[in-house]
Amino acid sequence: MLSHLLQQPTTWLTLTLGAYLLGLKIYQGLNQASWLPPVLSGFLIVTFLLWVTETPYSTYEQGGQLLSFFLGPVVVGLAVPLFHHFHQMKKQALIILAAIVLGSFTTIAVAVALTHYWIGIDAITTTMASKSVTTPVAVAITEQTQGIPALAAAFVMITGIIGAAIIPLLLKGLKLDSPQTTGVALGVCAHAVGTSRAIELGQEYAAYSAMAMTLTASLHAIVLPWLL
Amino acid sequence: MLVGLFALLVFLILGEATQSWVAIPVPSSIIGMVLLLIFIILKNKIPKNIEIAANKLAPLLPLFIIPISAGLITQAEIIQQYGLKLLIILTISLIPGALVTALILKLGKR
């Protein structure tokens, strides 16, 4: 009977939802620790279950894709915060845009170059290029550029967690810290996880970070597929 | 909520249509987002229903991402072989990116 249940899309949909809710509970229990976001704990629980039950990913996916489907409308909906941000940053638009374009180009160029020379597998290098944009966009980009979406999701998650931890410390150490510099740097390099860290630092940090994250994501999604 | 979700899906389909029509490599969801942005800019106001749906969906993002992330289980070979290198690359590449961003903003302020 158990092996029958493990074949059902409903079972895996339910287990994923349960894993997410449990992850959310842990996250809140840990005072919203940015090193263990619900997406990471949820991912670990689901992967563990797949491993223990020896369920092939293709079976899991039949339930899981009901959730992944919503990434599409979520990305379309990013137009809403983007419009808000356009209004807020009109005055400093040029300098912020320059910082976002050059900053994100730098982090990606370094990562792609290192991957190319150190690992040298094209699919991984291509996937690396989308590491600094928010996951739904990174997945959309890698699907477009023949990268590996699951790997992209992992890169994005790791980048976000490390970036959220080290960027504020780094900029503070170099006396470059301000709501604008740290906020934008978090959004550019560490997307949504960076933005949740920025929310902890203060409202102004959060606004800059959210704006930088959305702009970086749309910019990359439009530019990267032509380059790869 | 449902009216807004319907609208988001319509823009997603429009993005899909545009992508296959013009044959550009940009993801269809992003084209849908740009089309929605143009629509909002032309109206100079965010339709209430769309804003509600977007704001309701966004916090659920982690849930929507878990199934894709779990696909990592099919990439175990890459992780075993290159996991440490990838971790180092991901960490190192953050530093110049954050510095360039911060420096440009600081210099631009003057």
Joined together, the tokens standing for residue A173 give 């150490």
| pLDDT at res. A143 | 87
What's the pLDDT tens digit per position in B16-39? 999 899 877 788 888 998 899 999
Q: Which residue of B has its CA nearest to A54?
A: B73
What's the pLDDT tens digit per position in B69-95? 888 888 888 889 999 999 999 999 999
Q: How far is CA A149 from the centre of its chain?
A: 12
Shared-domain flag, residues A33 and A118: no
**pLDDT above 90 (res B53):** yes
For range A24-31, the mean pLDDT = 91
What's the pLDDT tens digit per position in A178-193? 988 999 999 999 888 7
Q: Determine what percent of chain B is predicted with pLDDT higher than 70.
A: 99
Q: Determine what percent of chain A is predicted with pLDDT higher than 70.
A: 99
* A contacts of B67 (beta carbons < 8 Å): 16, 46, 60-61, 63-65, 67-68
Helices (H), ranges, chain A: 2-5, 9-29, 38-52, 57-68, 71-77, 79-88, 93-118, 122-128, 135-145, 149-173, 179-201, 203-227
Q: Which of B5, B20, B63, B68 best tests the A interface by mutation, with the highest count of A CBs <10 A?
A: B68
CA distance A1 to chain B (A): 24
CA distance A2 to chain B (A): 21
**pLDDT above 90 (res A37):** no
Question: Is B63–A99 a contact, with Cβ atoms under 8 angstroms apart?
Answer: no
**pLDDT above 90 (res A2):** no
Shared-domain flag, residues A125 and A200: yes
Q: Which residue of B has its CA nearest to A216?
A: B101
Of the partner residues B46, B75, B89, the one whose CB lies closest to the CB of residue A83:
B46
Give 3-state DSSP helix, strand, coil % of chain B, rounded to 5: 90, 0, 10
Domain count, chain A: 2
Q: Which residue of A has its CA nearest to B4?
A: A77
| pLDDT at res. A213 | 86
**pLDDT above 90 (res B60):** no
| pLDDT at res. B16 | 93
Question: Is A50–B70 a contact, with Cβ atoms under 8 angstroms apart?
Answer: yes
Measured between its terminal Cα atoms, the distance across chain B in Å is: 45
CA distance A165 to chain B (A): 11
Among A69, A102, A128, residue at a domain's last position: A69
Shared-domain flag, residues A65 and A81: no
Measured between its terminal Cα atoms, the distance across chain A in Å is: 47
| pLDDT at res. B110 | 63
Among A52, A69, A86, residue at a domain's last position: A69
Shared-domain flag, residues A54 and A91: no
Supply the DSSP string of A121-176, one letter for each residue.
Answer: -HHHHHHHTTTTS-HHHHHHHHHHHT--HHHHHHHHHHHHHHHHHHHHHHHHHTT-
A45/B68: higher pLDDT: A45
Give the Cα separation of A39 and A49 in Å (integer).
Answer: 15
Of the partner residues B29, B66, B101, the one whose CB lies closest to the CB of residue A43:
B66
Give the Cα separation of A127 and A139 in Å (integer).
Answer: 9
Shared-domain flag, residues A64 and A96: no
> Is-contact A105 A131, C-beta < 8 A?
no
Point out the least confidently predicted range of A75-79, A88-92, A218-222, B41-45: A88-92
* A contacts of B24 (beta carbons < 8 Å): 225
Give the Cα separation of B87 and B102 in Å (integer).
Answer: 23
Q: Which of A76, A142, A143, A188 best tests the B interface by mutation, with the highest count of B CBs <10 A?
A: A76
| pLDDT at res. A54 | 93
Q: Which residue of A has its CA nearest to B50?
A: A77
For range A136-149, the mean pLDDT = 89
Shared-domain flag, residues A190 and A175: yes
Point out the least confidently predicted range of A60-64, A142-146, A150-154, B106-110: B106-110
Shared-domain flag, residues A85 and A22: no
| pLDDT at res. A225 | 82
Range of the domain at A62: 2-69
For range B35-62, the mean pLDDT = 91
Query: A24: pLDDT confidence band, cut at 50, 70 and 90?
Result: very high
| pLDDT at res. A55 | 93
What's the pLDDT tens digit per position in A87-114? 777 778 889 899 999 999 999 999 999 9
* B contacts of A128 (beta carbons < 8 Å): 89
Among A12, A34, A69, residue at a domain's last position: A69
* B72 touching chain A per CB within 8 A: yes
Give the Cα separation of A126 and A121 in Å (integer).
Answer: 9
